[in-house]
Structure 1
Amino acid sequence: MPSYLHEGLLDLFRTNLSLAPTLLAEEFRVPLPEFAQIRTEPCDFTDVGPKEFRGDLALSTHDDRDQPVLGVCVEVQLAKEDVRRWKWPVYLTTLRSRLCCPAVLLVVTPSRTVAKWAEQPIELDTVGSVIQPLVLGPDRFPVVTDPDEARRCPELATLSAIAHGAGPHMEEVLVAFLAGLMKTDDERVKMYLDLVDDALTIAASRRLEELMKTTPEYRGRIATKYVAKGRAEGREEGRVENAAHAVLTVLTARGLELSAAQRTQLTECTDLGQLDAWLTQAVTATRTDELFS
């Protein structure tokens, strides 16, 4: 089940379709063909059998004659999952075949560990054919300190605040992020605040709240209720997600594999008390049935 962070990061790219091509050009120096428009594409990459491969987001750019010139598969990855590296080539080559034009794979992750894992070439055969994922990790998230740039692209400013809001340019990054929120609709204001607030250190989170409370412009547009409610909901979801991940990590390290039903039961559980109990049991359990009976 996709997490709040996964869906939130993905929403940045769904909301602003030009974000992925912009990052490809500016962060990876990918030469982009000239295009007049960008569209979303179906994300169901089904093969000839009954199995369905479903990606996160597929985009296509088109020239002024409405011919596809570049396809982009955008994948948000929060943890190392080897099965994804088997599926990504399916997404990419299916989109390429569908559009009859070149296609690239853009993996987005807020984790440096995951970024290092994801950026390794994917070998397709034994004679040197590979697919090279382009990985937008935290070190490649742009640093946006110009409020005008943030207003032009709030999604870019949000990525910047997630990665750099607690760094050496904290003040400028947070001020720019808030300026970008002034151009964002109410529902996304809350989502973007949640994403950034969860990523910040305690000190940076407090500074963000101070900026909203002490600046009349932000206080009027970005209601304080978003801060309080967003933090409470975001922290709770984050704790649940981390607890479930901890249970899975311990079981995996001990060589215990969950069945599909058990994995679903774990990922869909929102009871922190139950998750903590499972984590305690996972340390000594000899079978997964001992946890999920």
Structure 2
Amino acid sequence: MDLWYTEKQTPRHGITTKIKETLHTEQTEFQKLDMIETEEFGTMLVLDGMVMTTDKDEFVYHEMVSHVPLFTHPNPKKVLVVGGGDGGAIREVLKHASVEKAVLVEIDGKVIEYSKKHLPNIAGELDNPRVEVQVDDGFMHIHNHKNEYDVIMVDSTEPVGPAAKLFERGFYQGIYEALTEEGIFVAQSDNPWFHGDLIKKVFADVKGIFPITRLYTCNIPTYPSGMWTFTLGSKKHDPLEVDPARFNAIETKYYTPELHKAAFVLPKFVQDLTEGK
């Protein structure tokens, strides 16, 4: 008998993939967690019925959420990742030699535990001595650490359950205050096909706080619609004006210096969202 996993991405649309076995399933304190071994994408982490990451395509998201802000900042030394318990963003952050400390704040310790067990290629740097892992509320961490971080990445689930408050204007204001004077932050902001209103709201909220606000995209096949957006807020540095000399060689599979700027070239219907249309 064939076994298939289906994510209902909207009430009228979903994706499905053939699975070999369920590696782990658990209702944690915060969400339903499933680790699934799929035939097409390898091991897949699913939270509350939503695909978070897979062995095959994880590099796209983790490289784009990390390297765009890190290469934009002239000298990032202390970096915060809110969420991201799978460890992929941390792995990419550590590729930057200037980073002296990377702090991961993940509210659900079970995500960290089972990512280490079943996704070692993604979570393999969580025990690195440059990394501090805290099982805590990222929302509260932001508000308790003023003027501390050079770069902050919000690697959250969609705006449901414990992640809902990570999409509020007050959270972005807290991020602004937690950043140093040259600070930059980036947050995943979902897809424009099914959640255009969310992108419009997030972009407007961030633009109301940060002098420089940009939206960029990438392609992730297991995420709803395949097109994914990130919203970047910066106090001083524009990602479109990065000195080419900043792009030192790091090992990547998706991100390139050319793609760094190309990712900000938006289709018209996505550009309209940033203009409140």
- TM-score by length of structure 1 reads 0.30
More helix by share: 1
- TM-score by length of structure 2 reads 0.31
Structure showing greater Rg: 1
More strand by share: 2
